[in-house]
Structure 1
């Protein structure tokens, strides 16, 4: 059937029409409330806050723990690895065990791992604690997303996921600024105590606002074998895989920017740290506004069409960056405009692609969300070092990765996830 946003949801029925669906009592306890959505927004802030609060302190961490710059950078890489693995495992486990208890457990482990980072005496223990922190944080994020998928369908799902992406985009703006303030007023260990406290606050919010949204009748029994079987079933859905490619490739382009924008703007163009922070915040603001606009368009404009606009904008920004890097010395005005367009494009793609992917696998929302998160964070961890190959001398690798990411995202939408009725329908 088609929802009012033009999103086709094959086999997707209203929650109360699913076989083995929740009883009326279950639905009374599990509703998509504003408090629940706000809690999920908080959960999506785990990754940017745990990263951005800490990154400004890299030099001090290396000096205090006796580590090299490479070893400190490795603590960021292990965090991304943990995020990817946590999402891959957390979604299927929540499909088997329910949402609420695994979510609370993940948040408590996040708090403990953050505290371990705060008191660590060596860089090796820091690296191990960051891996656990990332794993638990990824686990919590994917379950938060699965909770929304449990309760929303059609245009409402598109709208809510875009709101979550839009409001969640504030965290990358606040994170570096808050981290810099903490570093100025105290030590780098305080940033990890802040993350630990936030994880406990999130746990309290879950207790207050998030009921169990997956009753026993809808859970999947079994261990590793059931997980593998569910994964195979999800990955056999060609259109789901297409939207998986759309989302992962867009994430790759985004993190190519995150990894190199400081070098391009400051080292190549002489922008001050304050100027860079302002530009970074403006770009994150553009992404937030675009995501909120996408939420408003749900039910009015076909979701695939909104994704396509974002993809074409990202591709255009990559081409312009490449031309500027090869022939014009990467001029500052061009870079500023291209970065803003690229980040705003991500706001049109991210939430919409996730909603379209989830709509393809309604029987396995946790597994579908897990694979989506896994692919996104693997893409982020892989692309970040590749984008830095040019160092502070050239933006060509960055531009090439943005172009490749946008092009691959287009392949996912127009080829793998193509609509059977053709492009004219622009349905999901």
Structure 2
């Protein structure tokens, strides 16, 4: 029988996950429509891919905005503001008539959708610490991981009777529903006495304090580069699998969903194993697996591997991100107590800024399996090197 505390935990995890999933949903839902979008707006493939970069840059900048606001004004008011702005920006995406208009709308859509991502982590840190925080992050990943699993599938299905503009109208409807759900299920987790008492500029100054915290950065940076490898895969895979390997939008969606399932399974397994061996050790193993799987992807590109070989190596490369996101994210947030909003903001801006930079790299010289594989491997390598250089076994104490 579910206890009241367990029921409340599940309700919070579901609500926060749906809010945090809006950023990935804004990225993933229209992936199958990227080629059609480029043709409709009469723009090159590289320009269409820039819409992913614009969204991710917005997601990064929005983390800084809403994270610092939440440390000063609480979690709920910035969260509700972000959802309203998201609704308006998504409608602007649907109405765009030129690629420049679309890129601008995507930037603001990403910025607004960051509220759910950054505040989900901050609220979780307000409520939990230690292994409990890791378990809650895994629960967030379980639900949040469904976004990349089902978003391209849903996008592929919707494309059978809607155009790409209709996808953004669907996103706007989802944002409206999320506003109602958040108002009903969430309460303020940062009371006035625990908020930043200085000016807003002083709240921004807290970002510098967190950036200088070695323990935090030793987990934040590896997680950021692993997320960059994920975004490189997200940005390049529609063109690699559809244009090079000839998959239909629907077939691509199901391949993308299979990798999302691997991400979810890996995150849940890592949370369970962390209770036995600790987050630090599981994170080390995850980075090792990431290097092996991404190197195998490069070998697949060199050997011009068949589709099944590429999909197999991609599956494990993506799954490793689930291990690293849960463990590194938990360790980073555990090192920050009173500055949870700022810490969550830096995690987000690091991930999405690096992700925004990695997507164009896959298009240099034309998007190909090799360019995607080399970018993913490079991100995994940098994540591992930074972890080896900076990380020390953490003490389970908040600062």
User: What TM-score, normalized by structure 2, do the two folds share?
Assistant: 0.90
1:110 aligns with 2:90: no
Could you say what the CA RMSD is over the residues aligned between the two structures, in angstroms?
2.6
Q: Please give the alpha-carbon distance, in whole angstroms, between the structure 1 residues aligned to 2:194 and 2:94.
A: 40
- Structure 1 counterpart of 2:371: 397
- How far the C-alpha of 1:68 sits from its partner, in A, is 5.2
Change in CA separation of 1:235 and 1:38 when aligned onto 2, cut-off 3 Å: same
Match of 2:312 among 337, 345, 367: 337
Structure 2, unmatched stretches of 5+, are none
Name the residue aligned to 1:410: 384
Q: Is the 8 A contact 1:90 1:140 kept in 2?
A: no
Tell me, yes or no, if structure 1 residue 246 matches structure 2 residue 230. no
Please tell me whether residue 366 in structure 1 is matched to residue 338 in structure 2.
Answer: no
1:45 aligned to which of 10, 13, 21: 21
Is contact 1:114–1:133 with CA below 8 Å preserved after alignment?
yes
CA distance in 2, matches of 1:63, 1:320: 34
* Cα distance, 1:122 vs structure 2: 4.2
Mean Cα displacement is larger for which, 298-307 or 239-248? 298-307
Structure 1 residue 300: Cα displacement? 2.2
Shift of 1:370: 0.1
Shift of 1:349: 0.7
* 158-167 or 259-268, larger mean C-alpha shift: 259-268
CA distance in 2, matches of 1:276, 1:117: 23
Normalization by structure 1: what TM-score?
0.84
Provide closer, same or farther for how the CA distance between residues 300 and 82 of structure 1 changes in structure 2, counting only shifts above 3 A. Answer: same
Corresponding position: 1:277 with 2:253? yes
CA distance in 1, matches of 2:394, 2:32: 49
Give me the whole-angstrom Cα distance separating, in 2, the residues matched to 1:279 and 1:392. Answer: 19
CA distance in 1, matches of 2:243, 2:95: 34
Look up the match of 2:136: 160
For 1:3, the equivalent position in structure 2 comes to none
Once the two structures are overlaid, the 10-residue window that deviates more, 59-68 or 71-80, is 59-68
Alpha carbons 1:88, 1:371 under 8 Å: kept: yes
Q: Partners of 2:36 and 2:308 in 1: how far apart?
A: 33
Structure 1: state its 5+ residue gaps: 1-27
- Counterpart check, 1:377 vs 2:352: yes
Tell me the matched-pair count. 392
Residue equivalent to 2:77: 101
